[in-house]
Amino acid sequence: MAEERASLTGGRVYTQLADRLRERITSGVYAVGDVLPSEAALCQEFRIARNTARRGLAILEDEGLIVTAPSKGRIVTTASAPSSDAPYNYQRIAGELRERIRSGELAGGAVLPSELMLRQRFAASRNTVRQALALLEREGLVVAEQGRGRFVKGETS
């Protein structure tokens, strides 16, 4: 991988990082279940800032290629895994809300269930619920309005 030590340059460096890591995953360099290198290691290898590394990794997480496991790091998973088989509770919560949005049950502009309601329904911590909601925000399905709550993104939001 010495040829990859060159720094990434140009616009949207984080997408270039995502492309490089995606290629490594699909080519088998990183297999399902492998832990990706740390943010610090990626920053050093590609000569990029930590925030750039995080943005690139977020793309892969949004695509379902990796999951973040607390105290473990980012683990390679499969992009085709159904949300009901999600290994982490936040993914299960996000998957159910995502399905309700896509089916139209939660239409554009609709208020999402509160954090408290989601915590009770899924027997989850506040952090787990917030992680699920943040994932939906990164996917562009949900928008948060300070003091008002979270809404399904659409024409009326």
Identical topology for domains 2-76 and 83-152: yes
Q: What percent of the chain has pLDDT over 70?
A: 85
Q: What residue segments make up the domains of the chain, in order of their start?
A: 2-76, 83-152
pLDDT tens for each residue of 23-48: 898 888 888 888 999 999 999 999 99
Burial 112-127 (b: 16+ CB within 10 A, else e): bbebeebbeebebeee
C-alpha–C-alpha distance, residues 23 and 62, integer Å:
16
Q: Which of 1-5, 77-81, 125-129, 151-155 has the highest mean pLDDT?
A: 125-129
**Confidence at 9, pLDDT banded by 50, 70, 90:** low
- SS3 at position 149: strand
Which pairs count as long-range contacts for 92-96, CB under 8 Å and 24+ apart, including other chains?
Answer: 92/122, 93/118, 93/122, 93/124, 93/128, 93/129, 93/132, 94/132, 94/133, 94/135, 94/136
* Mean pLDDT, residues 122-143: 89
Upper half-sphere CA count for residue 10 (Cβ side, 13 Å): 5
Compute the average pLDDT of residues 87-112: 88
Class of 2-76 in CATH: mainly alpha
Helix or strand holding residue 69 (H, E): strand 66-69
3-state secondary structure at position 107: coil
Report pLDDT digits (tens) over 72-88: 889 988 644 334 455 67
Q: What is the CATH number of domain 83-152?
A: 1.10.10.10
Chain centroid to CA 53: 13
Top pLDDT among 110 and 6 is at 110
* DSSP for residue 86: -
Task: Determine the average pLDDT of the residues in 124-139.
Answer: 89
